[in-house]
Structure 1
Amino acid sequence: MNRMTYQRHRPRRICGQGYAWLLPSLLLAGIVLLDFNTGAEYRFVSWTVLVPGIAAAICGVRTTACFCVVSLVAYVLVDHAWPDQYRAGFADFVLVALGGALATVVSAMRVRQERHALRMEDVAAATVRAVLRPLPERWAGLEQAGAYFPADVEAQVGGDFYDIQPGPYGTRVLVGDVQGKGTGAVEAAAALLGGFREAGYYEKDLETVAERLEIRMLRLRIHTTAIGRRDGDRFATAVLVAFSRDAPDTVEIVNFGHEAPLAVGPRGVRELSCGEGLPVGLCDLVGGLPPVHQVPLAEDETLLLYTDGVTEARDGHGVFYDLVGDVAEAIIADPRCAEPERLVRRVHEGVRRHSRGVLADDTTIFAVRRLPVGDEGPRTAVFPGWDSGRWLPDRVWAGDDPERGSSAS
């Protein structure tokens, strides 16, 4: 996602250069030439009132004011070049002056709205960074690639979320989709990610991490109900995955009513059997959390996680996108498509092509796989040391050498 920055208004640019003044200048020159090259019965000098109006749409306030003055000067010079009986007169001069003044006011209003829009883009960009923080491509023993496309392009953020959290007990991955839309969904996604980042690091058992997510959603629902909001029944589907250093050929998965992950490798595509519990925030209806499933995942297989924006993408005839078939076809044509970045790009292009670029729901595509042994990626994080759950502030975790130094994340 591109970072938005707020700056002072700058003139519109044509072909990458500051030529926004060119169009009103050509219009003014054309009006002057037209007036001189037609008969005295047809005067076009009054059309100079259009010049500040065009400038107001594409130029800054000062430039628009300059065109207002230039148009008035041009009007006086051109009109006085004709005999008295053919002059447009003072009435049209007032028209050009009034039109220029109004154009300057409109330009100021437009610039103010654009600055406000830039500030809103900054807020949206900050929200995106807070909810979906940037992730290193190779981190904590995993190689990952992710893409998020909100259905509301202008909003830039919705209820989908994903994250990776390394910790003393392995690396945890979370992908989910909050029910509903709007700021309430964003708030819920941020709350779940905050809970995951803490629990994913501190808790030893994946079941406890899942329990913390459930409690976090229940607390959020209680709070929203207490302040009188109507979205106190919000929930989220999610998949929670644990990569353990002690089990390199398996992963642990807790499925909160989410789309089942796919294992994509050179040998093909398979759906991981990880059950299907109730969404986060609704587990109290059945009296317990979804179970933790331990499923095989080979070192050369990529775990593909996604939200229902992928599987529910439809074409013009209402046919759903065939994710498994499309990915399987890509793997047959080129086994390298199992690489996370290539895989995410393939699925994204497939969804866009199938739906003709019209997304009915927020769409998240996230692919992750283990790095080869001995290549765990850059150590970009330092973690407080743990020894059987006891706090050891004078040590660091993740194999960093204190004498070499390391950077905190």
Structure 2
Amino acid sequence: MFRWGGERAWVAGGRGRRGALDRLPRAGHEDALQRHQLLRVRGRSVAWVPPFLLLLCITYVDFNTTGEFRIISWIVLVPGIAAAICGVWGTAVFAVLALVTYVVADHAWPHQYQTGLPDFILVAVGGILSILACSVRVRGERRMLHMRDVAETTRRTVLRPLPPDWGGLEHAAVYLPSDVEARVGGDFYDIQPGPHGTRVLVGDVQGKGLGAVEAAAALLGTFREAGYHEADLATVADRLEVRMLRHRLHTTALGREDGDRFATAALIGFPQDDDSAVDVVLFGHDPPLVVAPEGVRQLPPGDGLPLGLGELAGEGPPPVHRVPLAPGETLLLTTDGVTEARDGDGEFYPLAEDLARAVAAEPRVAAPRRLVAYVRDRTLRHCAGRLADDTTVFAVRRRAPGELGRNGRLRS
């Protein structure tokens, strides 16, 4: 089991399902959800059982001890326990039940052994405080659940779910965000089918936090429009560069200190007129790896600057390179969380070498879902689960003509 700051990872791809890969429970609302799930049997809540058993135990012990050792006042713990695991009404019921039980049990003893009014007040005040504490807890859990819904909506807006075989491509992705609350960071990816072929964008916005999320959302919005309408991939690349510059101008005008933000990205086009090649534009991003049962090779490094820094080159967007891609070969793209993962000795994770050994031992690792799962696990093992940045592992390849799903040519 690996730890990466209490994070939660999810996988998208394959047949279009997303499975949660929970390494560790998340703090806050997730803990609350897991607690309620653990206190259910066959769909019914059993949260009332612990405080009820405690009430019975205290009453039983009190009746079976000497008069010099009365513990009935301990019954104040019953509504306290209920406040932690039950609802407000359940806590109120236990507060009243504890008070009634106290009165009955105390009066069953001779007068000289009765604890009397002081402990009665203690149990009554303890019950009232437990109800108030439970109300605060429930309100906080509801607020956190609402924030979870907001964060989930943000994630689905930036990293929209991709249908299976979208654009005639078999794809899979693993995303580990560094922002626990937002559940999404500066990494982004998408697939956009269109009349000029299917385009893929994978990238990483410099920095963290909501500013990086905003920049990623701006770039993805431009990609989804330009990737569909523009016939030339170079024009799509130019639109992305202009969009990043416009986004920086906007944030600067708002007085924010992220006017120098940039993004590395890999823009890939799967042309309709050539099933044995892909068009690649690299904006300062590491070149993709081509993984196949026969081995692993790296595409030529790009000569373009990151998005937002293209004006420094003065020559427009980086050129488009057409590179061969045989049937069955998978393109693997990763972000800094993989390339900058270090072990205890400060050594970077040797991704290409490790994949070459894995494919040689098991050729089926080259399939997208197997590939992203393997890279995820090996990256986490290499850095002992301590990822320093958002981590995205994205794998994509063409479907064989006979394997295209019914969504293969759909347009969004």
Q: TM-score when scaled to structure 1?
A: 0.89
Shift of the alpha carbon at 1:374?
4.3
1:293 pairs with 2:321: yes
Q: Distance in 2 between matches of 1:144 and 1:220?
A: 29
1:370 pairs with 2:394: no
Partner of residue 165, structure 1: 192
1:334 pairs with 2:362: yes
Match of 1:27 among 41, 54, 69: 54
C-alpha spacing 1:270/1:130, structure 2 compared with 1 (3 Å)? same
1:47 pairs with 2:71: no
The C-alpha deviation readout for 1:317-369, integer Å capped at 9, x for no partner, is: 32221211221111011111111111111111111222222222111011000
Shift of the alpha carbon at 1:316?
2.6
311-320 vs 322-331, which deviates more?
A: 311-320
Q: Distance in 1 between matches of 2:267 and 2:353?
A: 25
1:95 pairs with 2:122: yes
Q: Distance in 1 between matches of 2:189 and 2:37?
A: 37
Partner of residue 65, structure 2: 38
Contact 1:149 1:363 in 2 (8 A): yes
Percent of matched pairs sharing the same residue: 61
Partner of residue 343, structure 2: 315
Amino acid of the residue matched to residue 218 of structure 1?
L
Corresponding residue SS for 1:317: coil
Aligned residues: 381
Partner of residue 397, structure 1: none
Contact 2:83 2:133 in 1 (8 A): yes
Shift of the alpha carbon at 1:276?
3.5
Matches within 5 A, 1:8-407: 12-14=36-38, 16-17=40-41, 18-287=45-314, 288-379=316-407, 382-383=410-411
The C-alpha deviation readout for 1:241-263, integer Å capped at 9, x for no partner, is: 00012121111111011121000
The C-alpha deviation readout for 1:104-128, integer Å capped at 9, x for no partner, is: 0000000000000000000011011
Corresponding residue SS for 2:38: coil
Shift of the alpha carbon at 1:3?
10
Contact 2:270 2:279 in 1 (8 A): yes
Q: Distance in 2 between matches of 1:88 and 1:319?
A: 68
Shift of the alpha carbon at 1:376?
3.1
The C-alpha deviation readout for 1:372-398, integer Å capped at 9, x for no partner, is: 134433236655xxxxxxxxxxxxxxx
Q: Distance in 2 between matches of 1:382 and 1:137?
A: 11
Amino acid of the residue matched to residue 38 of structure 2?
I
Corresponding residue SS for 2:267: strand
Partner of residue 24, structure 2: none
Q: Distance in 2 between matches of 1:330 and 1:153?
A: 32
State the structure with bigger RCO (CA 8 A, min sep 6), 1 or 2: 2
Contiguous gaps of at least 5 residues in structure 2: 1-9, 11-17, 21-28
Contact 1:253 1:274 in 2 (8 A): no
Amino acid of the residue matched to residue 288 of structure 2?
P
Corresponding residue SS for 1:228: coil
The C-alpha deviation readout for 1:52-110, integer Å capped at 9, x for no partner, is: 11111111000000010000011001111111011111011001100110000000000
Amino acid of the residue matched to residue 233 of structure 2?
L
Contact 2:51 2:78 in 1 (8 A): yes
282-291 vs 184-193, which deviates more?
A: 282-291
Corresponding residue SS for 2:218: helix
Shift of the alpha carbon at 1:32?
0.9
Contact 1:167 1:200 in 2 (8 A): yes
Corresponding residue SS for 2:193: strand
Amino acid of the residue matched to residue 336 of structure 1?
R
- The RMSD of aligned alpha carbons is 1.9
Amino acid of the residue matched to residue 390 of structure 2?
D
Corresponding residue SS for 2:204: strand
Shift of the alpha carbon at 1:13?
4.2
Q: Distance in 2 between matches of 1:49 and 1:381?
A: 66
C-alpha spacing 1:42/1:276, structure 2 compared with 1 (3 Å)? farther
Q: Distance in 2 between matches of 1:381 and 1:117?
A: 40
Contact 1:241 1:254 in 2 (8 A): yes
Shift of the alpha carbon at 1:292?
1.2
Contiguous gaps of at least 5 residues in structure 1: 384-408
C-alpha spacing 1:75/1:13, structure 2 compared with 1 (3 Å)? farther
Amino acid of the residue matched to residue 246 of structure 1?
D
After the TM superposition, list the runs of 4 or more consecutive aligned residues in structure 1 that deviate by more than 3 angstroms: 1-4, 13-16, 379-383
Amino acid of the residue matched to residue 252 of structure 2?
T
Q: TM-score when scaled to structure 2?
A: 0.89
Shift of the alpha carbon at 1:313?
1.4
Q: Distance in 2 between matches of 1:122 and 1:3?
A: 18
Amino acid of the residue matched to residue 265 of structure 1?
A
Q: Distance in 1 between matches of 2:258 and 2:239?
A: 21
Q: Distance in 2 between matches of 1:191 and 1:167?
A: 20
Amino acid of the residue matched to residue 321 of structure 1?
Y
